[in-house]
Amino acid sequence: MSIQLDKIVVATRNSGKFIEIKKLLQETDIKLLSLSDFPEIPEVVEDGATFEDNALKKAKFVASSLGVTALADDSGLCVDALSGRPGVMSARYGGPNCNDMRRFVKLLEEMKEIGAGHRTASFVCVMALVAPDGEQRLFRGVCEGRILDEPRGTGGFGYDPIFYFEEFGMSFGEMDLDTKNRVSHRARALKMFADFVEESVKSKASQG
Ligand code: ITT
| 74 catalytic residue (yes or no) | yes
Pocket residue to mutate for ligand 1, from 10, 75, 140, 143, most atoms within 8 A of Cβ? 75
Catalytic residue among 29, 73, 74, 176: 74
What separation in Å is there between the alpha carbon of 207 and the centre of ligand 1?
39
Residue ranges and CATH numbers for the domains of the chain are: 7-207 (3.90.950.10)
- The DSSP bridge pattern shows strands 136-147 and 120-130 to be antiparallel
pLDDT at 205: 81
Ligand 1 atom 8: residue of nearest CA: 14
pLDDT of amino acid 126: 98
Closest CA to 54 of 95, 21, 92, 80: 92
Residue-level pLDDT at 15: 93
Enumerate residue ranges in the chain where pLDDT < 50: none
What pLDDT, on a 0 to 100 scale, did the predictor assign at position 4?
81
Tell whether ligand 1 has an atom less than 6 A from the beta carbon of residue 14.
Answer: yes
Percent of the chain with pLDDT over 70: 99
